């Protein structure tokens, strides 16, 4: 499950230089949360170095975020980047497998589950379990928002987007990090394996099957999309 060990974890933030739309898509996640909730309880799956959690808190200092990641080196970076927020109590960080963490939470206890650039790393069967538990822990009216690699159904478009992204990794070679460039290209190719690839239509249908009643593509940027899925706003709980 852990695809971020070693140098790819240690130098993760360098890859942002190869993702010119990184902060634009991150901002779309933050704005979508802020538009729906004033003081939400948020779980950030795939905390990484803490950039998404930090942006969520900066937009709404009154929310509380629990960040979860299974790579210790990235957690250490996040703990430094979010030091002030952790000290204030607005952020807690957990070194854990995402599914294990979600299963430790009570039913309907979270307003928002957010994730960026993470869930596509999970095999299909794990991803299905993860989405089911996300639905379970969300309160009525809760939102799951995922900024991730959703493959276009048009195969020519899909190939074009992958090719363009591989070319963008050249910026790492220009900075003397051809080792990191090669690792990220291999990572990119592995994302297209049958057991991992997230086709957009199939992914939206899976969210519908889990129980989400309103599912929308907030924005699409290259091979990435921001998908928001909402749980029905009802006081009647199916969880006894």
Task: Specify whether the CB–CB gap between 68 and 101 falls below 8 A.
Answer: yes
Q: Which residue, among 118, 57, 59, has the nearest Cα to 90 in the 3D structure? A: 57
* Residue 215 binned pLDDT confidence (cut-offs 50, 70, 90): very high
CATH tag for 7-230 (out of 3.20.20.70, 3.40.640.10, 3.40.50.150, 3.20.20.60): 3.40.50.150
Given this model, what pLDDT does residue 108 score? 97
pLDDT in tens, 141-197: 999 999 999 999 999 999 999 999 999 999 999 889 999 899 899 989 999 999 999
Whether residue 103 is predicted with pLDDT greater than 90 in this model: the reply is yes
> Measured between alpha carbons, how far apart are the two ends of the chain, in Å?
32
pLDDT in tens, 217-233: 999 988 899 999 999 99
Given this model, what pLDDT does residue 240 score? 45
Q: What is the 3-state secondary structure (H, E, C) of 29-78?
A: HHHHHHHHCCCCEEEEECCCCCHHHHHHHHHCCCCEEEEEECCHHHHHHH
Average pLDDT, the chain: 90
Given this model, what pLDDT does residue 36 score? 92
C-alpha–C-alpha distance, residues 169 and 144, integer Å = 30
Query: Can you tell me the mean pLDDT for 82-103?
Result: 95
Residue with tokens 């899909």: 158
Whether residue 6 is predicted with pLDDT greater than 70 in this model: the reply is no
Q: Which of 12-16, 153-157, 206-210 has the highest mean pLDDT?
A: 206-210
């Amino acid at each position: 499950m852990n695809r971020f060990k070693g140098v790819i974890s240690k130098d993760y933030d360098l890859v942002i230089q190869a993702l010119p739309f990184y902060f634009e898509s991150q901002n779309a996640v933050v704005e979508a949360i802020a538009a729906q909730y004033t003081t939400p309880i948020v779980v950030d799956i795939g905390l990484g170095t803490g950039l998404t959690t930090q942006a969520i808190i900066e937009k709404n200092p009154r929310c509380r975020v629990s960040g979860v990641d299974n790579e210790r080196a990235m957690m250490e970076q996040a703990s430094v980047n979010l030091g002030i927020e952790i000290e204030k109590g607005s952020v807690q960080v957990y070194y854990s497998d995402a599914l294990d963490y979600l299963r430790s939470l009570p039913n309907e206890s979270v307003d928002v589950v957010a994730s960026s650039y993470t869930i596509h790393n999970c095999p299909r069967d794990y991803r299905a379990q993860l989405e089911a538990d996300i639905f379970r822990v969300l309160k009525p009216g809760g939102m799951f928002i995922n900024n991730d690699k959703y493959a276009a159904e048009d195969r020519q478009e899909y190939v074009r987007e992958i090719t363009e992204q591989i070319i963008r990794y050249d910026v790492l070679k220009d900075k003397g990090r051809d080792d990191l460039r090669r690792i990220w290209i291999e990572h990119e190719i592995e994302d297209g394996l049958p057991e991992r690839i997230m086709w957009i239509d199939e992914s939206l249908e899976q969210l519908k099957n889990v129980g989400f009643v309103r599912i929308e593509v907030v924005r699409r940027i290259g091979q990435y999309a921001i998908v928001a899925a909402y749980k029905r706003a009802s006081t009647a709980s199916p969880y006894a």
